[in-house]
Amino acid sequence: MFNIWTFVLAVLGGLLLQRQQPQPPAPIPPVLEKYQTVTSERLKNPEAENWLMIRRTYDGWGYSPLDQITPANVARLRPVWVFSTAEPRVHEAAPIVNNGAMFVSTPNNQVIAIDARSGNVLWRYRRPRPAGASVPHETNRGVALYGDKVYYAAGEAVLVALDARTGKEVWTTTVADNKSGYYITLAPLVAGGKVMVGASGGEFGIRGFVAAFDLDSGKELWRTYTVPAPGERGSETWPNGDQWKTGGAPVWVTGNYDPETNLAFFGTGNGGPTIGDNRPGDNLYTTSTIAFDVATGAIKGYFQYHQNDSWDYDEVSPPILVDYQRNGRTIKGLIDVARDGYLWFLERSSGPIKFVEGKPYVYQNVFRSLDPETGRPDVDPAHKPGTGKRADFCPGTHGGKNWPPIAFSPRTRMIYIPANNNICGSNMGTQVQYTPGRPFVGIGGSQPFTVPGADHFGEVQAWNVDTGQRVWTHNYAKSPNWGSMLATAGGLVFSGGTSDRKFHAFDASTGKHCALIFFGKQNVQAELVRLAATLGRILLFENFIGSSSIKAIETCRRVVLLEIFHCRHDEFRIRRQRAAVALAREIFRMLPLRLAALWTAILRFVAHVGRAPDRVEALRWPHDGL
């Protein structure tokens, strides 16, 4: 009896035998053929249409000089393309764009190069996670560019250099021992002829550090620990013994950089274990901003926002570099919106970091006051948890602002803060013993609560840096705000990350809400919105619970209806038909390839067409027209 499957296998097997020679490499897409080398000068002064690092410029402003999109036309934005990353977990990476080539990282060790104009994949890199690797926070916050390479830090604490045109590995370097609790979530920082990274793992009793590597070979050039060893400056702020070895101070957000002084400013996290009475003293350099000499790794200055942290107030977000006015004097400034609920105005130099001013920007009951000369907080002991002692504190563990960055507009002289107000916490310390690679936290359970009578939680705040005063606030009545900020020369501020799944646009000067751009189902949490501006468009990278997409939106010269990609059942049928056509094309193209690869494509197709209709909006088959 004739068996169709036997016939198909025989034909494919014959083709396989006929084509044993290696296949020529795929042609490089035109957008990558004309890839423009990223130089130190371009990083210092990027072209207006490019976004070459996670906050676009070394000062961390998150500001686009593009001005086509304004309060007058922002409501005309419409989706242009949608692309699935095929990774459902939370996305926190800013898209990086160089002359139309967009690079974005995702959870689970993936980097994708995309044509920013069309949304087509240029290449996709996946790094297999080693057996037994531990990455407790499965996310990644972006890549860095230099020369013709893309630099990426894999979760298991490995630094990777990729060829920007092909996505192939050029070199890899192990940064730290993952089995001892080190892992990486930040984007590398390329500055001063080096590529720098830090490591997460404060909850595992690591000893934090920043390390620099050679751009061409991956060779380690220097490593500076954020907890000093005995005899080093700051070691006197730790108890005698070996607690410095497990002292924490992790570095899990990319630093900013001052080319004039060749200093990189990184923020550090909590001490280990979490509750401060386990490690008496100020515990330098936890919860601090540190100025590192990029040439040598030497610590040139620091500012500790609060001492002997007991609230898990990681102060990992680096301050932005902004010169501002105070009392008729121009101050070469650092401005940090800290997790502890305070807005800090500091002064940078080629060495020490000086305190200028600090004030709360959300409801705060932990600090009774600040020393007017040093900025050292006077802590209310009633709101400081201890071992066996539960205490309430505001803001809660996640802070008045977590890691999502602020933005600054030189046009308005304002910073824009993604704040969370009226959210508090309660915690208590417990005894804990250190075991390498195991949690080293020692808390009795964090219990969040809200301020009585609170009528909102999330906020967008605007503060004038020259007066130190708040100018306007937008409140989100039913949602926190976990979106980073983007300011533009068009007089707009963009934000996302609220539970309404809407992309919000504000007049940068007045705070007037200009537009709501809706993507997806209501009441589904959008974990984070990351923004970048390029090619006269705004590229929006967001994660939705259950699906992850990159979407691009652009201005139109006429008023248009916002196109929403809902997949009803009839649309699902159309998408499935398109997918079948695409699969047929893929089979035709892959006939000369190995049989295993063909079966993989077939199985992938079967898995995708079986998805529920409301998930199809995140699928992208070749040439499906989205």
User: Is the C-alpha dihedral spanning 287, 343, 233, 178 positive or negative?
Assistant: positive
Residues with Cβ within 8 Å of residue 406, at least 6 apart in sequence: 62, 320, 335, 337, 415, 416, 417, 418, 485
From 32, 256, 24, 255, select the one nearest 149 (Cα to Cα).
32
Token look-up 């072209």 returns 47
Reduce the DSSP state of residue 246 to 3 states and report it. Answer: helix
CA terminus-to-terminus distance, the chain:
45
Q: How many Cβ atoms are within 10 Å of 325's Cβ, its own excluded?
A: 15
Alpha-carbon distance of 404 to 123, in angstroms, equals 28
Phi, psi at residue 257, to the nearest 5°? -145, 140
How far apart, in Å, are the Cα atoms of 430 and each of 310, 387, 427, 440, 444? 12, 5, 10, 11, 6
- φ/ψ bin of 145: left (φ > 0), alpha (ψ from -120 to 50), beta (otherwise): beta
Contact 376, 369 (CB under 8 A): no
CA 181 to each of CA 109, 149, 204, 226: distance values in angstroms, whole numbers, following the listed order: 18, 28, 5, 16
Give the CA angle between residues 177, 178, 180 to the nearest 5°.
75
- Contact yes or no for 64/533 (Cβ under 8 A): yes
Q: Is 323 a catalytic residue?
A: no
Cis geometry, peptide bond prior to residue 285 (ω within 30 degrees of 0): yes
Q: From CA 226, how far away is CA 267, in angstroms rounded?
A: 10
Tally Cβ neighbours within 10 Å of residue 573.
12
Place of tokens 């803060």: 417
Which residue among the candidates 115, 293, 309, 312 is catalytic per the annotation? Answer: 312
Question: Residue 121, exposed/middle/buried by CB under 10 A (0-12, 13-18, 19+)?
Answer: middle
Task: Name the packing angle between helices 595-609 and 569-590 (round to 10°).
Answer: 180
Using a CB cutoff of 8 Å and minimum separation of 24, what contacts does 501-509 make? 501/525, 501/526, 501/544, 503/529, 503/540, 503/553, 504/460, 504/474, 505/71, 505/74, 505/77, 506/460, 506/474, 507/71, 508/409, 508/411, 508/412, 508/414, 508/416, 508/462, 509/412
Measuring CA to CA, which residue among 141, 87, 38, 35 is closest to residue 548? Answer: 87
Separation between Cα atoms, residue 380 and residue 366, nearest integer Å: 6
3-state secondary structure of 104: strand
Residues labelled as active-site residues: 312
